[in-house]
Structure 1
Amino acid sequence: MRSDYLGFSCLLSAVILQATAVLAADDDVLKRGAYLMNGPVACGNCHTPVGPNGPDLSKELAGGTPFDFPEFMAFSANITPDPETGIGSWSDDQIARAIREGIRPDGTVIGPPMPIEFYRHLSDDDLKAIVAYLRHLAVVKNEVPRSTFNIPLPPNYGPPIVSQGSPSPDDKIAYGGYLVAISHCLECHTPRGSDGHLDMKRAGAGGNSFPGPWGVSVSRNITPDLEDGIGSWSDDEIKAAITTGVRKDGTHLMPPMAFGYYANITGGDLDAIVAYLRTLPPQKTTN
């Protein structure tokens, strides 16, 4: 099973690069959207249906992936332009609000594992680019089951966002923090508290279990702790784990780590991500 997923990640990278080149030929906004969606933001890692041999690219972003946790039984939404089972009837502003604020057009709140707390950092320009990419997807009709939650959902994730910028890439650590946020790294790598919500006091400490067709994987500690985290890893070793799924010791990471998508992150963006991870407070893994 593991080798099937590793082989798929190589195929996915090739398909994504080809699709990006075609989609982005004459449109800088769409080019940025393709990069974000098929690189750092990696929406397909959750929203593309997964089978025993990996994601089904014929149903890109058609949803239905289950997330079975004690706190919730969630299914990823169909975010293709299908007007009945997807988001084809939503306006651009409604799509943008759902992504960045977690509010659907009918006013209901989107629950976890959709990482709204992190997507609130998306800049106006990047959000526009993502919406443009979603508009260019193939329509896929796929009715997705309703998610159920054993934890209370907030009425909202914060006040409405009027406008949002992003740090300059010249500020490597600040821009790296932006990339880590929109890549929602800490959504998986941060333990959840007794209330079912992320314990940000232990950001990056890992220890969450993720069942799936691959078996059960556990998110690792990505803080600079020298024993439990990645403090003893070189920059190149961290980048290899992110983009190829190969750890420092040569063993392979398991899904849902999105290395098939992260392989498309540019060298400069990877440098910024690593620089930011180095600034996280060291944590011990207790889960």
Structure 2
Amino acid sequence: MRMVLRVSFGTMAAVAAWLGPQPALAQDPALLDRGRYLVEVTGACGNCHTPMGPQGPVPGRALAGGMVFDEPPFRAVASNITPDPETGIGRWTDAQLARAIREGIRPDGSLIGPPMPMTLYRGLSDRDVAAMVAYLRTVPPVANAVERSVYRMPLPPSYGPPVTSVAPPADHPVARGEYLVNAVAHCMECHTPMLPNGQNDRSRLGAGGVEFRGPWGVSVARNLTPHESGLGSWTDAQIIRAVTEGLSANGRPLAPPMAFAAYRNMTQQELGDLIAYLRSLAPQP
């Protein structure tokens, strides 16, 4: 016997909050669109969470995890962040997923380690983290069990106190750019020198110098500050070309792991905000 249950929208919202993950059709279209932009473009989550083959991203495996980051302090394996219930985040509640993104804590209480930029993701606004969660519910689930990461360095007890509420940035180019570069695109995670404890040296914000090894060889994160050894002599157009096309000021191709394929879809306003913020940084040699 089939039962048809009719409930009000208010009741549906209450039940959805109690049950946790719900179908994307129940979500706000504007929120989903924002989440897609954050995950696929400025956040470039697939740059780490989508497995790569010789020809680029493996078809049909978007956000399914498995990328390995083998560095002296750790062998980190990107997790499956598709809604697969067995190997991904399908059984996680919205609150658990939001907590994992902003605080680096899984539902079982274990801590997510580097290279996830947890100290920066703590700055994601409430609406943006809700948008990311909503969008991740809509991506095709992929069954892909990945191995556990191994850390040869002590992880902190936490990345800070619980995140309660984060407001969006002030409506000003530099403030919006700071939010974009740090909390969303996490540029400073790669472009700021590291301390021995694995944390960024915030006193040298944007000074570059971090090395990345891969099939391309060794790439070194550029100095993003207005110093003469950084972007001091670059025009706005050259910076935009570097971010969206992967070409240096002199036309030389830039190496991975910069997510040029994602950043090329950034809006003109956000590219302008990014430049405004980078121009505001203290010059670092």
Query: Normalised by the shorter chain, which TM-score bucket?
Result: 0.7 to 0.9
1:256-267 to 2 correspondence within 5 Å? 256-267=257-268
CA positional deviation for 1:199? 1.4
Equivalent residue for 1:52?
54
Partner amino acid, structure 2, of 1:158: G
Q: Determine whether 1:274 maps to 2:257.
A: no
Separation in 1 of the partners of 2:237 and 2:123?
27
Percent sequence identity over matched residues?
57
Equivalent residue for 2:12?
none
Query: What's the Cα RMSD here?
Result: 1.3
After superposition, the C-alpha distances for 1:5-28 in whole angstroms (9 at most, x for unaligned) are xxxxxxxxxxxxxxxxxx9xx811
Query: For 2:44, which of 42, 45, 50 is the aligned residue?
Result: 42
Equivalent residue for 1:198?
200
Structure 2 residue matching 1:216: 3-state secondary structure: strand
Separation in 2 of the partners of 1:217 and 1:252?
12
Separation in 1 of the partners of 2:51 and 2:96?
24
CA positional deviation for 1:114? 0.2
Equivalent residue for 1:139?
141
Residue range with higher mean Cα deviation, 210-219 or 157-166: 210-219
Query: For 2:188, which of 186, 197, 206 is the aligned residue?
Result: 186
Partner amino acid, structure 1, of 2:259: A
Equivalent residue for 1:29?
31
Query: For 2:150, which of 143, 148, 169 is the aligned residue?
Result: 148
Equivalent residue for 2:20?
none
Structure 2 residue matching 1:31: 3-state secondary structure: helix
Equivalent residue for 2:73?
71
List runs of 5+ in structure 2 lacking aligned partners: 1-24
CA positional deviation for 1:240? 0.8
Partner amino acid, structure 1, of 2:240: K
Query: For 1:163, which of 162, 165, 172 is the aligned residue?
Result: 165
Separation in 2 of the partners of 1:144 and 1:81?
14
Partner amino acid, structure 2, of 1:177: E
After superposition, the C-alpha distances for 1:70-110 in whole angstroms (9 at most, x for unaligned) are 11110111000111111111001100000011110011111
Separation in 2 of the partners of 1:64 and 1:74?
9
Separation in 2 of the partners of 1:105 and 1:123?
21
CA positional deviation for 1:197? 2.0
Q: Indicate if the aligned counterparts of 1:74 and 1:113 stay in contact, CA closer than 8 A.
A: yes
Separation in 2 of the partners of 1:68 and 1:209?
13
Equivalent residue pairs, number = 258
Separation in 1 of the partners of 2:199 and 2:55?
31
Q: Which has the higher contact order (CA 8 A, sep 6+)?
A: 1
Structure 2 residue matching 1:95: 3-state secondary structure: helix
Equivalent residue for 1:8?
none
Give the TM-score of the pair, scaled to structure 2. Answer: 0.88
Equivalent residue for 2:123?
121
Partner amino acid, structure 2, of 1:220: R
Equivalent residue for 2:174?
173
Equivalent residue for 1:15?
none
Separation in 2 of the partners of 1:47 and 1:185?
17
List runs of 5+ in structure 1 lacking aligned partners: 1-22
In structure 2, relative to structure 1, the CA distance for the partners of 1:215 and 1:54 (3 Å cut) is farther
After superposition, the C-alpha distances for 1:217-243 in whole angstroms (9 at most, x for unaligned) are 2211111111x2011101111111011
Partner amino acid, structure 1, of 2:109: G
Structure 1 residue matching 2:219: 3-state secondary structure: strand
Which structure has the greater CA radius of gyration? Answer: 2
Residue range with higher mean Cα deviation, 214-223 or 183-192: 214-223
Query: For 2:85, which of 75, 78, 83 is the aligned residue?
Result: 83
Q: Indicate if the aligned counterparts of 1:210 and 1:218 stay in contact, CA closer than 8 A.
A: yes
CA positional deviation for 1:155? 1.1
Q: Determine whether 1:95 maps to 2:64.
A: no
After superposition, the C-alpha distances for 1:91-140 in whole angstroms (9 at most, x for unaligned) are 01100000011110011111110011111111111111100110001111
Partner amino acid, structure 1, of 2:255: M
After superposition, the C-alpha distances for 1:33-78 in whole angstroms (9 at most, x for unaligned) are 1111111111011100012221224200001111111111101110
Structure 2 residue matching 1:67: 3-state secondary structure: strand
Partner amino acid, structure 2, of 1:229: G
Separation in 2 of the partners of 1:29 and 1:191?
35
After superposition, the C-alpha distances for 1:205-224 in whole angstroms (9 at most, x for unaligned) are 11122122333222111111
Structure 2 residue matching 1:277: 3-state secondary structure: helix
